[in-house]
Structure formats: structure tokens, C-alpha cells
Amino acid sequence: MPGHVVIVEDDDDMRDSIACLLAAEGRSAAEYASAEAFLADGVPRGTSCILVDMRLGDGIDGITLIERLRRAGEVPPVVVITGHGDIPLAVRAMQAGAIDFIEKPFTPERLLDAVARASTRRSDDPAQGRARERVNALSPRERQVLKGLVAGQPNKVVAHELGLSTRTVETYRAAIMDKLGCRSFAEAVRLAITAGLDDETPPGKCAVPAV
């Protein structure tokens, strides 16, 4: 039986659209236009996943909401909805406790897949192990480049810190996407964070030899 989903989204049309999409899959949903309204009610019993928009108008934002939920105790898996270009913020959200993020505009399939995977996530989920295997297949230099990009650094900043040209970083970026089997940079970011790459030594400060 599909689980209950909480939607925290300040755009009325987007919130209703997501709820209808989930209903078509047999999932019930509780809708909130602000983080404050959600926090006032608390997490409904039986919630299997929480969908949170990164930017929630003038109120509490998605990252702050996740942090408050985590401080209050164990909560269901959180998936962040973010606008294009907000990857650094999405990384911060995952570091705060979110398990995934989806970029607007997203397809119905992408959203439903994220909800399904979040709803069935277990503490012994093998996803991290698989992600580490794929990231470990990168060369030391590729890992350095990926880490810098995951941190939200522009290509030219990564190039400066690693003593490379911007074009070389762009070449590495394309090779990384190919090796990881990712169709978008957002997908590569999710994979890197799942693998724990963002917890490693920052680029430019690592003694790993270049390849």
C-alpha cells in the first residue's frame, strides 16, 4: 500500500499538481503552503516521505525546515524540490538530512521515482555502497574536480585551485559524467553526496597525485 506523503510548497498550483499526481498512484497527501503551518501540525502518523520546496516565500526555507525536523527527532525521508541553478543549496539540504533532490521543471516520472525510493528507504539501504563503487572508479583528479563542482564552485574556481585550465576542468566534467553514467549534472551531484564525497578533503588541499 503506497504511503502517506507530506507536501510543503508555497506555489498553490504546483502543490495541487503534485497531490493529484500522487493520488493517481494511490498515495494520500497532506498539503502545506508554508513550513510554519507544517511545523504547527507536526509530522502526520504514517508519513513515508516529505516533499519540501527549497524556497518557501518569506517564511522558513526548506533547509531550515529540515534542520528543525532533525533536531526534533527522527523524521521520514525528505526529498527537496529545487529550481534550476540551486544545486549548491540542494547540496546543503542533503548535508542537513535530505536524501534526494529534484529540479524544476521535473517530469512526473522523476517525482514519483524519488517518492517511491524515499518511501522504501531503509537504514541498511545499499544505495550508498553502490554510489561509492561508482565514485571510486574515478581517478584521483576526477574526484577532486567533482568535489569542487559539488561544493558549488564554478569551473574557473576549480581550475584555479587545482592548477588547471578551465577547458581542462570542462573536459574532466564530461569524463566524470560519462564514467558515472549520469545524464545530468544534478544526477552526478546526488550520486557524489550519497557516496559521501562531500565529506572528503576540499580540492586544492589534497595530496593525492594528479592523473
List the one residue out of 79, 94, 47 whose CA is nearest residue 195: 94
Q: Where are the beta strands (DSSP E) in the chain?
A: 4-8, 29-32, 47-53, 78-82, 100-103
- Taking the CB of residue 100, how many other CB atoms lie within 10 A of it? 22
What is the C-alpha to C-alpha distance for residues 211 and 29, in angstroms, rounded to an integer? 49
**Phi/psi at 51 (5° precision):** -100, 120
pLDDT value at residue 97: 83
Domains 4-119 and 127-199 share a fold: no
How crowded is the C-beta side of 150, counted as CA atoms within 13 Å? 31
Helix (H) or strand (E) holding 145: helix 140-150
Residue 172 DSSP symbol: H
Q: Which pLDDT tens digit goes with each residue over 95-122?
A: 888 888 888 889 999 999 999 988 887 5
Amino acid at 172: Y
Q: Which pLDDT tens digit goes with each residue over 33-85?
A: 999 999 999 998 889 999 999 989 888 999 999 999 888 876 789 999 988 66
Amino acid at 133: E
Instruction: Average the pLDDT over 5-25 and give the result.
Output: 95
> Does the pLDDT at position 200 exceed 70?
no
Architecture of the CATH domain 4-119: 3-Layer(aba) Sandwich (3.40)
What is the C-alpha to C-alpha distance for residues 127 and 67, in angstroms, rounded to an integer? 23
List the one residue out of 40, 71, 69, 34 whose CA is nearest residue 55: 34
Supply the pTM of this predicted model: 0.71
List the one residue out of 64, 91, 81, 83 whose CA is nearest residue 151: 91
Q: Which pLDDT tens digit goes with each residue over 164-199?
A: 999 999 999 999 999 999 877 778 887 888 787 766
Whether residue 129 contacts residue 143, with contact meaning beta carbons closer than 8 Å, is answered with no
> Does the pLDDT at position 93 exceed 80?
yes
**Phi/psi at 113 (5° precision):** -65, -45
Residue ranges covered by each domain of the chain: 4-119, 127-199
Fold for 127-199, please state it.
Answer: Arc Repressor Mutant, subunit A (1.10.10)
**Which cell numbers hold the place of 158?**
576549480
